[in-house]
Chains A and B, each alone.
Chain A
Amino acid sequence: MIVASPKSITELKNLIAGHKKVLFVGCGTCVTVCLAGGEREVGLASYAIRMARRLADEPLELSQQTIERQCENEFIKDLAEAAAKVDAVVSFGCGVGGQTIAERFPDKPVYAGLNTQFMGTLEEQAVWTEKCLGCGDCMLALFGGVCPVTRCAKRLLNGPCGGSTETHCEVDEDRPCAWQLIYTRLKGIEQLDRLDEVVPPKDWAPSWHAGARKVVRKEHRVG
């Protein structure tokens, strides 16, 4: 899922400074699951902002609405009525959600209420870790299903580096060495011989080398 984290109350307050009618929009998908931008978190942020604005003696009409997914126009249309009544919208979706809403309402300032972090996994209650950069050419098969492109601090395709330990990466004691994980996995699935092959430099062409990418699936297009 896409993992995001909340912005500080001060930053939120500054984002909407000068606006008198604001709509906070939650997203019911990834950011609800990662406890950052669902109905619940939008409610908490609203309490904070209402109090902060009242203390600053700057009246604010704040409304809230949470839609199923901010990254699909199909759901964003449900916002039209509420958005028409406000001066600005704050998206508590990921950066994709915020941009999709902004495209839909060209005359409305749309601000991001969250810091979008990464694509990752829920490890345990309220702990998420990054697992994939979306490089466009997945190499997981070579590495026993552990992505060194994302999880090795040096993105080594032929690791480990000299600082690797069995317990952690030399760059961060809190993070396992991806190459240790790769070794353990390959051993477990009896594919250690893969490590005899030198992996050639990664082709970054399918990745983010020249701006935003696009996926078109002809077989599913209509018209």
Chain B
Amino acid sequence: MTPSAPPVAVPMTAPVTTPPVAPSTLWEPEIIAFCCNYCAYAAADLAGSKRMQYPVNVRIIHAPCTGKIEMEHILDAFLKGIDGILVAGCLEGGCHFLEGNLRARKRTDRIREMLAEIGVGDERLKMVNLSAAMAPTFVESVQQMVDTVKALGPSPLKESEPREESQHLESEG
């Protein structure tokens, strides 16, 4: 991973000042990539080993399988103001647990419908399928997600309420 701007050499004697920055340029999208252990995470790892560059906006969450990613995990992140989510699983037919990625696809499709209806927008959630060897595809998917979300702007739910809010579930019986 690389910083978005190259480091600027500053003479040791120069006073340290922070240049004024327009608020719009301060925003960088926050993106989560849920990566399955067997393919997507390995591809991300390979991208790292190969020193391939991809945007720093992405935080990877290592999941045992995309089938283990519940709809609640994704909705919770959106409720808390995440700008975009990438769900990355194995190629169809290549899931270590046979059909976890196929189930994840159906769930992401459903959440995309929900996000569209809610008004958050379905483009903020995307699922991709790749093998452990497809590091360039991983990098490309991440880049595309960042580009999409940058074009959309910050999540409309961002900072509109304290982030600590999470759903409180009470259950009896």
Once the chains are docked, how many angstroms separate the CA of A43 from the CA of B167?
8
Residues of B close to A48: CB separation below 8 A = 75, 114, 117-118
Asked if residues A65 and B118 are in contact (CB atoms below 8 Å), the reply is no
Once the chains are docked, how many angstroms separate the CA of A46 from the CA of B71?
12
A116 at the interface (CB under 8 A from B): no
Once the chains are docked, how many angstroms separate the CA of A10 from the CA of B76?
19
Contact of B118 among A28, A51, A69 (CB under 8 A): A51
Return the chain B residue nearest A46 by Cβ: B167
Residues of A close to B72: CB separation below 8 A = 43-44, 47
Asked if residues B171 and A9 are in contact (CB atoms below 8 Å), the reply is no
Once the chains are docked, how many angstroms separate the CA of A46 from the CA of B76?
10
Residues of B close to A10: CB separation below 8 A = 117
User: Which B residues between 126 and 173 are near A, CB-CB below 8 angstroms?
Assistant: 156-157, 160-161, 165, 167-173
A91 at the interface (CB under 8 A from B): no
Known contacts being A47-B79, A54-B157, is A28 close to B173, with CB within 8 Å? Answer: yes
Known contacts being A48-B118, A51-B118, is A67 close to B173, with CB within 8 Å? Answer: yes
Asked if residues A54 and B172 are in contact (CB atoms below 8 Å), the reply is no
Once the chains are docked, how many angstroms separate the CA of A144 from the CA of B161?
60
CB distance from A64 to the nearest CB of B (A): 6
Asked if residues B161 and A65 are in contact (CB atoms below 8 Å), the reply is no
Contact of A64 among B76, B156, B161, B169 (CB under 8 A): B169
Residues of B close to A51: CB separation below 8 A = 75, 78-79, 118-120, 157
Once the chains are docked, how many angstroms separate the CA of A61 from the CA of B169?
13
A50 at the interface (CB under 8 A from B): yes
Known contacts being A48-B75, A65-B172, is A55 close to B118, with CB within 8 Å? Answer: yes
Residues of B close to A44: CB separation below 8 A = 71-72, 75, 114
Contact of A68 among B156, B160, B172 (CB under 8 A): B172
Asked if residues B161 and A54 are in contact (CB atoms below 8 Å), the reply is yes
Return the chain A residue nearest B76 by Cβ: A47
User: Which A residues between 139 and 178 are near B, CB-CB below 8 angstroms?
Assistant: none
Residues of B close to A46: CB separation below 8 A = 167
Residues of B close to A63: CB separation below 8 A = 168, 170
Once the chains are docked, how many angstroms separate the CA of A63 from the CA of B169?
8
Once the chains are docked, how many angstroms separate the CA of A175 from the CA of B19?
70
Once the chains are docked, how many angstroms separate the CA of A154 from the CA of B122?
42
Interface pairs A-B: 5 shortest CB-CB = A68-B173, A47-B75, A9-B117, A65-B170, A66-B171
Given A9-B114, A68-B172, 20 other A-B residues pairs in contact with their CB atoms under 8 A: A39-B169, A43-B72, A47-B72, A47-B167, A48-B75, A51-B79, A51-B119, A54-B157, A54-B160, A54-B161, A55-B120, A55-B156, A63-B170, A64-B167, A64-B169, A66-B170, A66-B173, A67-B173, A75-B173, A78-B173
- Of the A-B pairs whose beta carbons lie under 8 Å apart in the complex, a sample of 29, sorted by A's number, is A8-B117, A9-B114, A9-B117, A9-B118, A39-B169, A43-B169, A46-B167, A47-B79, A47-B167, A48-B75, A48-B114, A48-B117, A48-B118, A50-B167, A51-B75, A51-B118, A51-B119, A52-B118, A54-B157, A55-B119, A55-B160, A63-B168, A63-B170, A64-B170, A66-B172, A66-B173, A67-B172, A68-B173, A78-B172
